[in-house]
Amino acid sequence: MSNTYFTLVYRVTQAIPTGRVTNYGAIADFLALGSARMVGWALNKCHGKGVPAHRVVNSKGELSGRNMFPSPTMMQEMLEQEGIEINNDKVVKFKEVFWHPGEHLDQDDYDYPHE
């Protein structure tokens, strides 16, 4: 199983429940990547991978990656469609909709296995 750092990010991102969001640092810390940038980079390639990258925002709850989407507003629309309120390109009640990785997943199944 090719468990590259972005593959792990894909798994966690896909594991994010509907109506929930998470941030790069949480995923990076969960996967022990060491850098939130790796997560953003992995999600940068998510196009066509079926990865709900729109559920991943920065620590401030801002849709930092909206500019990378086909349409900057698409990300907001998708989040609102999932029941997440967006105001000024930011997630309303971010802490309430924040999804903590690892607390609902088996890290043993997501962390670097046997390579």
Partner DNA sequence: GTTTTGACGGTCT
Partner DNA sequence: TAGACCGCCAAAA
The C-alpha atoms of residue 73 and residue 70 are separated, in whole angstroms, by 9
CB of 26 to DNA, least distance (A): 7
12 is a contact residue toward DNA (CB under 7 A):
no
Q: For residue 23, what is the enclosing H or E element? A: strand 22-23
Q: Which parts of 24-63 interact with DNA (CB under 7 A)?
A: 24-25, 28, 33-41, 43-44, 46-47, 53-54, 56, 58-60
> Quick check: 19 and 32 in contact, CB under 8 A?
no
The C-alpha atoms of residue 64 and residue 13 are separated, in whole angstroms, by 16
Residues of the shown chain interacting with DNA in the complex, contacts defined by CB under 7 A: 4-5, 23-25, 28, 33-41, 43-44, 46-47, 53-54, 56, 58-60, 64-65, 67-69
